[in-house]
Amino acid sequence: MIDKLRRIDETRLEVPLDYKKGMRVPGIIYVDSLLEKELELQAVDQVANVATLPGIVNCSTAMPDIHNGYGFPIGGVAAFDLKEGIISPGGVGYDINCGVRLLRSNLRKDEVIPRLKDLVDVLYREVPSGVGSKGKVRLGPDDEKRILIKGAVWALENNMGDPSDTERTESGGHIEGADPSLISGKAYERGRSQQGTLGSGNHFLEVQYVDEIYDEQAANALGLFTNQVTVMIHTGSRGFGHQVCTDFLEVMERAAAKYGIELYDRELACAPFHSSEAQDYLAAMRAAANYAWANRQCIMHWTREAFMKVFSSSPRALGMSLVYDVAHNIAKIEEHMIKGERRKLVVHRKGATRAFPPGHSELPVIYRHLGQPVLIPGDMGRASFVLLGTEKAMQETFGSTCHGAGRVLSRHQAIKMARGRKIWRELEDRGIIVRSAGRETLAEEMSDAYKDISAVVDVVHKAGLSKKVARLRPMGVVKG
DNA sequence: ATGTCC
């Protein structure tokens, strides 16, 4: 029960070893007393369940945007030893490499407001969205395989961006070790028509403006200034990644039994890191991650084209360069210091953002002195945030921080609460123009359905897991 | 999140 939790300090709650039988390490949930009230019992239970898995290192961690997920909580971070540990699709999630990218511009808010409706219309037309939406990219079988290996670099080779984009993308926009031969026919089929599509649910493309800066020097280094217009793109690997996850959950359920791993919840299906099943999943997951990076790159390209049309100017003159692109649903092999010893671990981040500190060799040279840019999308009515990674995150959370607001209402509850309201109208009254493909998406995604993003970000800032740089406010939203 | 049940 929740009263078995122990408060460590203002921002941390411990799930003690005796919370549940079988826990190998404790759990740590980053919440203050306010967000603690919104903790779901089931999500806390999931933190404890993850702590029972073989080879887990330090503790089972969750961020302040924690909520129920498949097996592992969303907002969870779990790192496993490569010898004794496991790898689990539930620790990554169905939307492999769901992530966020942020584009800057030279435009000011007051220059865009008179053209905002037009801009949102053009963006809605240029970027396919909605459940099962089909892209305008026509792929042959070989193209799709190239995407799985090259990720965003494939898009550059097809004249949709330049090397400064992939330089500013986590993992350079393509992760090594993807194996297209491990992808099912079903996944290929679903992926063929969906490259370059936004999807639905909480995925979005948003025109925003910078309304508050917390760290002038850092904002300047990232190319951000007050009242500047930015664009945030939040999407993932669409039906392709979903199918990869589905395919491998089946493989992993059999593998867990085969290798004698006791599962406290069958949704924790996993396999020992060095098993062929785990290695195959990793190679397939990487292919899906690359699919997602290509997806965000295509969408960003069309975003630049849309701005070019509406403002009759070149993207270069508009200053539309990529600030950064983060993955928040992925497993990566990384080196971390554990009790004074440098160790290679497989870090699962499921609804958690990497937040590497200044000086880390995996950061692009232009940002190495700053720390990794962290992009946190909020709901469509409130705000989004830019932060930077820290040394404290490296020490406490395997270089990780939160990923978003986190739901407080289920989709069903949200639809019920929105009955009789016009969500688009409520947003328009607040100066936010919204266009959506799905009939019920706006209800599911209204502000009331989410935790307060500012409260979530304040916890990770106060805990030192990342530091606030800027707050972005929505102006125009394209929803799936 | 997801051709929201083959």
Lowest mean pLDDT among A53-67, A127-141, A448-462: A127-141
Provide the domain count of chain A: 1
- Confidence band (pLDDT; 50, 70, 90) for A401? very high
A203 touches strand B (CB under 7 A): yes
CB A91 within 8 Å of CB A263:
no
Residues 217-276 of A with CB under 7 A from strand B: 235-236, 238-239, 242-243
A132 touches strand B (CB under 7 A): yes
As a whole number, mean pLDDT of residues A237-256 equals: 98
pLDDT > 70? residue A349: yes
More confident position, A51 or A316: A51
Residues 6+ apart with CB under 8 A from A448: A408, A409, A414, A417, A418
pLDDT > 60? residue A233: yes
- A215 marked as binding residue: no
Pick from A43, A52, A42, A58: nearest CA to A20:
A52
pLDDT > 90? residue A133: no
pLDDT, position A423: 94
pLDDT, position A132: 83
Which residues share a beta bridge with A13? A7, A29
Task: Please write the tens of the pLDDT for every residue from A257-294.
Answer: 999 999 999 999 999 999 999 999 999 999 999 999 99
- Confidence band (pLDDT; 50, 70, 90) for A126? very high
Burial class (CB in 10 A: 0-12, 13-18, 19+), A337: exposed
pLDDT > 80? residue A433: yes
pLDDT > 60? residue A1: no
Provide the mean pLDDT of chain A: 96
* Enzyme catalytic residues of A: 403
- A234 marked as binding residue: yes
At residue A47, the 3 state secondary structure works out as helix
CA of A359 to C1' of B6 (A): 51
CATH number, domain with residue A193: 3.90.1860.10
pLDDT, position A241: 98
Rounded Cα–Cα distance for residues A433 and A269 (Å): 43
pLDDT, position A406: 86
CB A269 within 8 Å of CB A247:
no
pTM over 0.85: yes
Q: Strand B: which nucleotides have any atom within 7 A of a protein Cβ? A: 1-4
pLDDT > 80? residue A141: no
- A109 marked as binding residue: no
CB A49 within 8 Å of CB A20:
yes
Q: Which domain does A192 fall in, by range?
A: 2-479
Looking across all nucleic acid strands, the nucleotide with the smallest C1' to CA distance from residue A411 is B4
Rounded Cα–Cα distance for residues A354 and A358 (Å): 13
